[in-house]
Amino acid sequence: MGPPSGFYVSRLVAVLLAGVAAALLLALAVLAALLGRCAHAPPSDLPGRGDSPGERAPPPAAPPPRPTGEPSGPLPARPRHPAGPWDELRLPPWLVPLHYELELWPRLRHEAPDRAAVRFSGRVNITVRCAAPTARLLLHSAALECERAGVRGPLGSGAGGAPRARVPVDKVWAAPDMHYLVLELGESLRAGGLYELQLSFSGRASRDIREGLFVNVYEDQGESRTLLASQMEPTFARNVFPCFDEPALKATFNITLIHDPGFVALSNMPVLGQSDKEDVNGSKWTVTTFHTTPPMPTYLVAFAVCDYDHVNRTERGKEIRIWARKEAIARGEADFALNITGPIFSFLEDLFNINYPLPKTDIVALPIFDDRAMENWGLMVFDESLLLLQPDDQLSERKSIISYIISHEIGHQWFGNLVTMNWWNNIWLNEGFASYFEYGVINHLNPKLPKNEVFFFSILHNALTEDHALVSRAVSLKVENFTETNEINELFDVYTYKKGASVARMLSSFLNEDLFINALKSYLGTFSYSNAEQDDLWRHFQMAIDGQSQIILPATIKSIMDSWTHQSGFPVITLNVSTGVMKQEPFYLGKVKNQTLLTHNNTWIVPILWIKNGTTQPIVWLDKSSKVFPEMQMSDSDHDWVILNWNMTGYYRVNYDKLGWKKISDQLEKDPKAIPVIHRLQLIEDAFSLSENNYIEIETALDLTKYLAEEDEIVVWHVVLMNLITRDLFPVNNYDVYPLLKKYLLTRITSVWKTYSTIIRKNMAALQDEYLTLISLEKLFGAACWLGLEDCLQLSRELFRKWMSHPEYEIPYQIKYVILCYGIASGTDKEWDFLLNAYNDETEEEERIFLAYAMSCSKDPWILNRYLEYAIIESPFTFNETNIVDIVAESPVGRYIIKDFLVNNWQAVSERYGTQTLVFLMYKLGRTITTDLQLTELQRFFSTMLEEHQRLAAHANLQTMKTENLKNKKRRARIAAWLRKHT
């Protein structure tokens, strides 16, 4: 599945992704519909299939056979059954699926394009091997109406085998809690025998991708269109057809789609043939059949039925097609993706020495796909915003994002599709390695990219920010930790993707690239078309290590890596340069003196790559809580300096004693370029994080910024500004430190500002290949204008007025929000009305959100009041994409007017945005409370709009915010004292 966002992106994109996350959480809260009526009569036969590779371990003894009887009648809403295997999350291992004959018939018509829901029917014949005698069959089915169910067998071993006898089905019923369909038979199936389950079913596809089969309604060439696509990962195949919906239960598939002749039908494999069909009303349909798939799990089964065009090319004899809206194909928006897809496949084929096994690859650009992208074998799907690129859009980080996401999904063709994890507890074997290799691929295709800095910004920073002891989770979980399906869905998070990728990168760094790749080749070759567990991976790494003598490890690879994947959090490594003593401890949020009371007793086996005076040193290992390294010891008088975690390849933060930090700070002031860029990033990032969480004093972190007048790398400035200009330090309208920080930073930021403001004015195209610069520009420009740098404010006015005079002019996207915001802030109602008109004329939802936020930057109370009034009326303006009340409350001036507006208009606001808007407003308005009087005032204010049962929770939340604000106030006071001393 596509990686969660980890790039430093604009405020707009962050808002969009937050909205997507909220939508996903809401969708996951909805239970699947109950199964409908079932009968035991078999459906019309579909061709049966023989044996196929892959079996599960034998099951326990089967339950006793049930007497033959009649099929059950309609099921009650919640049937009551005694405890049994249907109460467990995992299927009992009684049956092993070998092959599916699947026919699906969605009733989507080309001439009825506005349908938000589509009914479908289908038939599936599943060839299974019985592992032990059983008269009770379980398979997955959710939100489906099972219309007929039958069992035939045992099947003959060949074409001339005995006829298939019918096994009587006494009863069919649903166990909806765990999404099971239960077939109770009149006689037991024989162990070792092959049988065919025959099921007919129907269901509904809507716009919700969590239904497995979903629809998109969109515009193309001026007309409304509808398409149908699938998303089965992790457990949504059961919403589309009855199946054995677990990743280890791989099988082959013969797929048939019945569809409107005006649509193209796509699936995992190439088309085998087509024929015509008439329904009972005499309407014409097309029957498209596809070649047999390799063995694969149900979550990779894929379909698309659409009215799309495509572009194609051949790479090493295999066709690649990109499908998209016809107007997008005509404009060449799929060409960039098409041109990079083939070389990515070729690079990974050569790297792993394993050819991509399918004869074709289709990639479909969906107008709306909340999961970003999905790696289905032979039929990948993407949200079109992450695949399509306008040919003239050369100056955009979108090119890089598209490249990374395509690389990620192609990486899954080996990690996930060819070799699949046994169970979802090891999903990081799919997602972590796909995330790791997406950066290896792009660095191969773009060798000038600074790979360590790119990995930091896109992966490592997010992982370290979210991960900490006790609260976060391990990368690899114990199987018994799972009790319900929703827990599987929740695994697609920062730990699976980004911590997983970071751990893989660390493994590569303390071995070497050749050894790392050779071990993976062995692993992929051994488990091709099969399944693996984490220990299987470590076994192949150990084999590679044992086969050479250069790399010596302090323990087995399993012991080392389990210490990182089986426990939450990461260590803080502290080096005392006076004594050479190095120790490790878990990283906690807000460390306190009695932290030892918390139970986190394990240690990590930590690879320490390090540099001394700019020269790399031999690796050392910290395999216990504390250890002495004499080679790192230094005196107070010499000029040596040491930095641990070379290239930030280790998944930990680094701390030093006061002398160690002082030597680094002195070196930065003396010659910052002697310390590589990645380590200037690391030092700022680690020091501020450690100071915020009570590991070191804030003054230690601030000392590292004294050299900044000499810092010309925008990516280092990006990290500095992220840590110095935060809402915790500068809550709305509480700028006690602002004048001091303004004076301190303006004397240091001028040089880097002049460099990039000149480029903006003269030749923005010069940055077209500078990915890290493009994602850092908004932070630099936003900070410069926030600090009141006159040239930044002037540039904002210039570009805003140029756009007003020439609407065809496009403000560079990377700084557009800053330009619009400060253009509005320094303007009048004339500029604001111009932006409102632009909003009304805009059709792209993303751009409308962008403009809505910029309009909240006005400093005129009457304009913001008018904006709020527009937000709660239906016409002439409709702000559907975002909560205007929420964003106005976040602005410096809006905070003063929002309370009166809510008091006077609460009924209209609650009707427009819902009562949950108070949750967001409580957070924003509570940012500055530090006294009991302020607390009481806000509690009284919110109480007037809250129900009785909500008030206690709200009061407690505000009290917590007050405590946090007091801590931040003390931190700001210390920063202010330091700034006075150094300004």
* Secondary structure (3-state) at 4: coil
Does residue 632 have a pLDDT over 60? yes
- How far apart (Å, rounded) are the C-alpha atoms in residues 903 and 606? 56
Assigned token pair, 755: 């460099």
Q: Which residues fall within 8 angstroms of residue 643, CB to CB, at 6 or more apart?
A: 610, 611, 654, 664, 675, 679, 682, 683
pLDDT of residue 277: 95
**Within 13 Å of residue 971, how many CA atoms lie on the same side as its CB?**
26
Q: What is the pLDDT of residues 524-540, one digit of tens each?
A: 999 999 999 999 999 99
Band (65; pLDDT cuts 50, 70, 90): very low
Crossing angle (nearest 10°) for helices 335-352 and 513-526: 90
Q: What is the pLDDT of residues 572-603, one digit of tens each?
A: 999 999 999 999 999 998 876 555 544 455 79
pLDDT of residue 80: 63
Give strand pairing partners of 215.
228
Whole-angstrom CA distances from 597 to 573, 591, 592, 694 are: 20, 11, 10, 16
> Residues comprising the binding site?
408, 412, 431
Mean pLDDT, residues 70-92 taken together: 67
Query: How many Cβ atoms sit within 10 Å of the Cβ of residue 63?
Result: 16
Band (836; pLDDT cuts 50, 70, 90): very high
pLDDT of residue 18: 42
Q: For the ranges 238-247, 332-341, 381-390, 446-455, which has the lowest average pLDDT?
A: 446-455
Give strand pairing partners of 717.
none
Does residue 41 have a pLDDT over 60? no
pLDDT of residue 601: 59
Catalytically annotated residues:
409
8 Å CB contact between 397 and 442: no
Whole-angstrom CA distances from 16 to 10, 13, 352, 487, 921 are: 10, 5, 37, 24, 19
- SS3 breakdown of the chain: % helix, strand, coil, rounded to 5? 45, 20, 35
Instruction: Tell which residue, 612, 541, 605, 540, has the closest CA to residue 571.
Output: 605
Band (74; pLDDT cuts 50, 70, 90): very low
Band (655; pLDDT cuts 50, 70, 90): very high
Higher pLDDT, 45 or 357: 357
Q: For the ranges 475-484, 640-649, 804-813, which has the lowest average pLDDT?
A: 475-484
* H helix or E strand, kind and range, residue 911: helix 894-913
Higher pLDDT, 447 or 3: 447
Band (546; pLDDT cuts 50, 70, 90): very high
Band (558; pLDDT cuts 50, 70, 90): very high
pLDDT of residue 574: 98
Q: What is the pLDDT of residues 940-980, one digit of tens each?
A: 888 888 777 777 888 888 888 888 888 888 889 999 999 99
Assigned token pair, 86: 């249907």
Q: What is the mean pLDDT of the chain?
A: 88
- How far apart (Å, rounded) are the C-alpha atoms in residues 232 and 503? 27
pLDDT of residue 736: 76
Whole-angstrom CA distances from 141 to 212, 277, 394 are: 12, 28, 47
Ramachandran region of residue 409, left (φ > 0), alpha (ψ -120 to 50) or beta?
alpha
Assigned token pair, 463: 């992982």
Band (36; pLDDT cuts 50, 70, 90): very low
Does residue 35 have a pLDDT over 50? no
Q: For the ranges 13-27, 255-269, 727-741, which has the lowest average pLDDT?
A: 13-27
Assigned token pair, 122: 């289908």
8 Å CB contact between 930 and 910: no
- How far apart (Å, rounded) are the C-alpha atoms in residues 195 and 165? 10
% of the chain beyond a pLDDT of 90: 70
Q: What is the pLDDT of residues 871-912, one digit of tens each?
A: 888 666 777 778 899 899 988 899 889 988 988 888 888 888
8 Å CB contact between 310 and 243: no
Q: What is the pLDDT of residues 668-677, one digit of tens each?
A: 999 999 999 9
Higher pLDDT, 614 or 882: 614
Supply angle C-alpha 606, 609, 612, rounded to 5.
Answer: 135
pLDDT of residue 149: 96
Give strand pairing partners of 360.
319
Does residue 40 have a pLDDT over 50? no
- How far apart (Å, rounded) are the C-alpha atoms in residues 58 and 671? 67
Q: What is the pLDDT of residues 690-724, one digit of tens each?
A: 999 999 999 999 999 999 999 999 999 999 999 99
| Three state DSSP letters for 313-339 | EEECCEEEEEEECHHHHHCCCCHHHHH
**Within 13 Å of residue 286, how many CA atoms lie on the same side as its CB?**
17
% of the chain beyond a pLDDT of 70: 89
- How far apart (Å, rounded) are the C-alpha atoms in residues 44 and 836? 61
> What single-letter amino acid sits at 109?
R
- How far apart (Å, rounded) are the C-alpha atoms in residues 678 and 670? 18
Q: What is the pLDDT of residues 364-406, one digit of tens each?
A: 999 999 999 999 999 999 999 999 999 888 777 788 899 999 9
Higher pLDDT, 711 or 66: 711
Band (323; pLDDT cuts 50, 70, 90): very high
| Three state DSSP letters for 62-99 | CCCCCCCCCCCCCCCCCCCCCCCHHHCCCCCCCEEEEE
Q: What is the pLDDT of residues 160-218, one digit of tens each?
A: 445 578 999 999 999 999 999 999 999 999 999 999 999 999 999 999 999 999 999 99
- How far apart (Å, rounded) are the C-alpha atoms in residues 924 and 859? 18
Render the burial of 965-982: b for 16+ CB within 10 Å, e for the rest: beebeebbeebbebbeee
**Within 13 Å of residue 135, how many CA atoms lie on the same side as its CB?**
15
Does residue 16 have a pLDDT over 70? no
Q: Which residues fall within 8 angstroms of residue 431, CB to CB, at 6 or more apart?
A: 1, 3, 416, 492, 496, 497, 500
Q: What is the pLDDT of residues 754-789, one digit of tens each?
A: 999 999 999 888 888 888 999 999 999 999 999 999
Assigned token pair, 745: 């930073």
**What backbone phi and psi angles, to 5 degrees, belong to 826?**
-95, 0
> Residues comprising the binding site for Zn(2+)?
408, 412, 431
Band (922; pLDDT cuts 50, 70, 90): confident
Query: How many Cβ atoms sit within 10 Å of the Cβ of residue 429?
Result: 28
Mean pLDDT, residues 849-869 taken together: 94
